[in-house]
Amino acid sequence: MADPGHTRGAVAASALAFTAGFVDTCGFIALFGLFTAHVTGNFVLIGATAAGQGHGLVARLIALPVFVAVVALVHATTRWSGARSARPLLVIEAMLLAVFAVIGLAASPIHSSDQPLALLAGMAGVAAMAVQNAASRGVFAGLAPTTVMTGNVTQLTIDLVDLAAGATPDNRQALLARIHRTWPPLALFTVGCAAGAVSFITVGFSCLAAPILVILALAAFDGRRAS
């Protein structure tokens, strides 16, 4: 019989990873290469922009300070309040994604991520993903990472090699447990990226309704579990 706790964790991690992949890809396409979830990727693009390859320097420069400020605020607030429920953070994330969508629609058509409204939209997206990143180190600390997949790919590869090389029964169980914890968010992040790209090309910023609904459903699920 499946462990209910493991199942809930896999569902939460998969939902969050789908959201991160969707929002990051949507923001990247809509805002000319701005990363909202994988914010350190903006460093590479800052260098490329400084070298004359691309534009949108202001948005990329302020994305990291905005991200850091929101993470600090979320962590300080949850630490001070002693909150253990994910629900408030998920609701805040959904609200920020809604702001991202509404301002993005108002700013369209966007010709540069440094346009005032486009800049506000991008920072709302960055703030939403900052909330999710902060939650992943707090209320979702038991889950695999859901916003940046490099660590998951590395860990999954190492575990598969160790499993193939042979392991003691105890080590085998630990490896299988970690593999089953790692692959669902990796797979759903990939699905989210594809869905974000196709959806934005098709309907523009309205596509953000999808991750908003996913996060609200996760918040409702967390609320029922806590009641």
Residue 207: inside a domain: yes
Measured N-to-C along each axis, helices 87-107 and 209-226 cross at an angle, to the nearest 10 degrees, of: 170
- State the chain's mean pLDDT as an integer: 90
**Alpha carbon 178 to chain centroid distance?**
20
Q: Strand, coil or helix: what is 170?
A: helix
Contacts of 15 (CB under 8 A, 6+ apart): 188, 214, 215, 217, 218
Residue 134: inside a domain: yes
Q: What is the pLDDT of residues 190-217, one digit of tens each?
A: 999 999 999 999 999 999 999 999 999 9
Residue 1: inside a domain: no
Residue 166: inside a domain: yes
**pLDDT given at position 2:** 47
Q: What is the pLDDT of residues 48-79, one digit of tens each?
A: 777 766 667 899 999 999 999 999 999 999 88
Q: How many structural domains compose the chain?
A: 1
> What whole-number distance in Å separates Cα of residue 104 and Cα of residue 117?
7
Q: Average pLDDT for residues 13-19, to the nearest whole number?
A: 96
Count of positions (residues) in the chain: 227
CATH number at residue 193: 1.20.1250
Alpha-carbon distances, residue 28 vs 20, 25, 110 (angstroms): 12, 5, 12
Instruction: Give percent above pLDDT 70 in the chain.
Output: 93
Residue 222: inside a domain: yes
Q: Would the pTM of this model clear 0.75, i.e. be above it?
A: yes
**pLDDT given at position 51:** 72
Residue 25: inside a domain: yes
Show the domain range for 220: 7-226
Residue 89's Cβ-side half-sphere holds a number of Cα atoms within 13 Å equal to 29
Q: Average pLDDT for residues 220-225, to the nearest whole number?
A: 69
**pLDDT given at position 84:** 75
> What whole-number distance in Å separates Cα of residue 144 and Cα of residue 140?
9
Does residue 134 register a pLDDT over 50? yes
Residue 120: inside a domain: yes
**pLDDT given at position 1:** 41
Q: What is the pLDDT of residues 78-87, one digit of tens each?
A: 888 877 789 9
Phi-psi region of 46 (alpha: psi -120 to 50; beta: other; left: phi over 0): alpha
Number of neighbours of residue 53 by Cβ within 10 angstroms: 9
Q: Average pLDDT for residues 167-179, to the nearest whole number?
A: 87
Residue 137: inside a domain: yes
